[in-house]
């Protein structure tokens, strides 16, 4: 659905928990592109936060979708709610930015992508790692062929932020986050893997409880083989100090990217790399705000200034891997064919 409007895209923020508040804060410096005009949060604390930030508060996404002038909706809600919330937003003809994971099943991801495409609605998602400057450069180099044939990718994205949560918190629920840290952090790594290597061929997972009482396990490793060749190995823990690393290995060069801090408060990156025939180099990249940059890209796609770079195919490919990790973990690490 093309828009002839000018000025910032007016959005409803649905969910004012940890990440909804983070997005609200970063968007304070992006008001030329995107403006939060209302919010929905059933928790009473959400009303206080909304009022403190100067926008209308509602108790549900249904009410927020009716707010005058709303063009798009940002979902920062429990994962199992996404499918129905996306359906309601599509019926209301609103563009959608959904925090990861887009869905918990391939079927729901395909339905979301197809529904938005049919209505010509922009569908964005919270894979902000693609907007980290060294990651964006790495993707560009891979796509241009500068790195040669991509053979393998590796990554680890872990933290212990959830160990202090109340056991009843939805982020620790086995139904919302069924395989260790996969929906919290691992899915960012598989998003990059699919961007580089395409559709997965098969998936195998190890999921263990090693250092916490988190019911779905705290430590995972995922091995993926891709239909076009190449492999990915990604791991994640919900019970270790922060680490975030992603590496891509090609026939003409390799790049290893390490975050200095969690994206909640970016502190920059350390990039180690080498090209064929050249030395290994280490470069420091200054901080940026990829969460904001992702949301701005979403808004600019709505205004028709540029296409949103994460395709529907990418989104479905990634959720296909997520669903396979659940199946593999339930079968004690058996290989799941896709």
Assess whether pLDDT exceeds 70 at residue 244.
yes
Q: 283: which strand partners?
A: 271
Give the model confidence (pLDDT) of 114-163 as tens digits. Answer: 999 999 999 999 999 999 999 999 999 999 999 999 999 999 999 999 98
Measured between alpha carbons, how far is 121 from 88 in angstroms, rounded to an integer?
13
Residues 6+ apart with CB under 8 A from 330: none
Q: Are residues 50 and 78 in the same domain?
A: yes
Structure tokens at 148: 């040669």
- The reply to whether 238 and 295 lie within a common domain is yes
Residue 1 in any domain: the answer is: no
| Spatial strand order in the sheet of 95-98 | 56-58, 34-40, 9-14, 72-75, 95-98, 123-125
Indicate whether 44 pLDDT > 90.
no
pLDDT digits over 271-326, tens only?
999 999 999 999 999 999 999 999 999 999 999 999 999 999 999 999 999 999 99
Residue 155 and residue 258 in one domain: yes
Domain end marker among 125, 145, 168:
125
Average pLDDT estimate for 210-238: 95
For residue 125, what pLDDT is reported?
98
Which two tokens mark 204? 């195998």
Residue 2 falls inside a structural domain: no
Same domain, 102 and 165: no
Q: What is the DSSP string of 138-156?
A: HHHHHHHTTT-SEEEEEEE
Q: In the prediction, which pLDDT does 208 show?
A: 95
**In a 3-state reduction of DSSP, which class is residue 301?**
helix
Confidence of residue 4 (pLDDT cuts 50, 70, 90): low
**Three-state SS for 208?**
strand
Q: Residue 121: give its domain's CATH number.
A: 3.40.50.720
The verdict on 121 and 152 lying in the same domain is no
The residue segments making up the domain with residue 329 are 129-337
Domain assignment of residue 332, yes or no: yes
Q: Are residues 190 and 138 in the same domain?
A: yes
Please, what is the angle between helix 312-330 and helix 106-118, to 10°?
170
Q: How far is CA 38 from CA 1, 11, 24, 113, 237, in A?
A: 22, 7, 11, 25, 35
The reply to whether 64 falls in a domain is yes
Per-residue pLDDT reduced to its tens digit, 134-143: 999 999 999 9
Kindly give, in sequence order, each residue whose CB lies less than 8 Å from that of residue 94, ignoring residues fewer than 6 positions away. 12, 65, 70, 71, 72, 73, 121
- Among residues of the chain, what percentage have pLDDT more than 90? 90
Residues 329 and 264 in one domain: yes
Between 175 and 334, residue with greater pLDDT: 334
State which of 106, 125, 144 marks the end of a domain. 125
pLDDT at 167 over 90: no
Residue 3 lies in a domain: no
Which of 125, 152, 177 finishes a domain? 125
Count of structural domains within the chain: 2
Name the DSSP class of 103. Answer: -
Are both 97 and 142 inside the same structural domain?
no
Residue 57 sits in the same domain as residue 191: no
* Tokens representing residue 310 in the block: 């994460």
Question: Average pLDDT of the chain?
Answer: 95
pLDDT band at 168 (very low <50, low <70, confident <90, very high): confident
> What's the pLDDT score for residue 5?
78
Asked if residue 277 belongs to a domain, the reply is yes
Mean pLDDT within 216-221 = 94
228 lies in the same domain as 285: yes
Q: Are 154 and 234 in contact (CB under 8 A)?
A: yes
- 178 and 302 within one domain: yes
Whether 160 and 240 map to the same domain: the answer is yes
- Residue 158 belongs to domain with CATH number: 3.30.360.10
């Amino acid at each position: 659905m093309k828009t002839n409007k000018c000025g910032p895209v007016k959005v409803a923020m649905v969910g004012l928990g940890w990440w909804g508040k983070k997005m609200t804060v970063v968007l304070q410096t992006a008001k030329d592109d995107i403006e939060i005009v209302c919010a929905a949060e059933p928790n009473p604390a959400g009303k206080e936060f909304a009022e403190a930030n100067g926008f209308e508060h509602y108790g549900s996404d249904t009410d927020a979708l009716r707010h005058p002038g709303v063009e798009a909706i940002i979902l920062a809600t429990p994962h199992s709610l996404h499918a129905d919330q996306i359906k309601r937003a599509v019926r209301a003809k609103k563009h959608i930015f959904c925090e990861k994971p887009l869905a918990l099943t391939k079927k729901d991801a395909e339905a979301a992508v197809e529904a938005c495409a049919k209505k010509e609605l922009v569908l964005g998602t919270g894979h902000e790692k693609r907007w980290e400057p060294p990651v964006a450069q790495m993707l560009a180099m891979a796509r241009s062929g500068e790195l040669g044939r991509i053979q393998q990718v590796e990554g680890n994205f872990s933290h212990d932020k959830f160990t202090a949560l109340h056991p009843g918190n939805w982020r620790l629920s086995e139904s919302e986050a069924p395989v260790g840290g996969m929906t919290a952090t691992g899915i960012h790594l598989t998003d990059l893997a699919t961007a580089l290597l395409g559709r997965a061929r098969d998936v195998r997972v190890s999921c263990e409880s090693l250092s916490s009482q988190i019911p779905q396990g705290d430590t995972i490793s995922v091995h993926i083989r891709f239909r076009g060749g190449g492999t990915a190995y990604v791991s994640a823990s919900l019970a270790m100090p922060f680490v975030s690393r992603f590496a891509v290995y090609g026939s003409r060069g390799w790049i290893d990217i390490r975050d200095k801090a969690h994206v909640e408060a970016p502190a920059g990156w350390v990039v180690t790399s080498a090209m064929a025939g050249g030395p290994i180099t280490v470069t420091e990249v200054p901080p940026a705000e990829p969460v904001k940059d992702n949301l701005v890209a979403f808004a600019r796609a709505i205004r028709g200034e540029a296409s949103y770079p994460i395709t529907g195919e990418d989104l479905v490919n990634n959720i296909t891997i997520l669903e396979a990790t659940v199946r593999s973990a339930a079968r004690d690490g058996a290989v799941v064919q896709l």
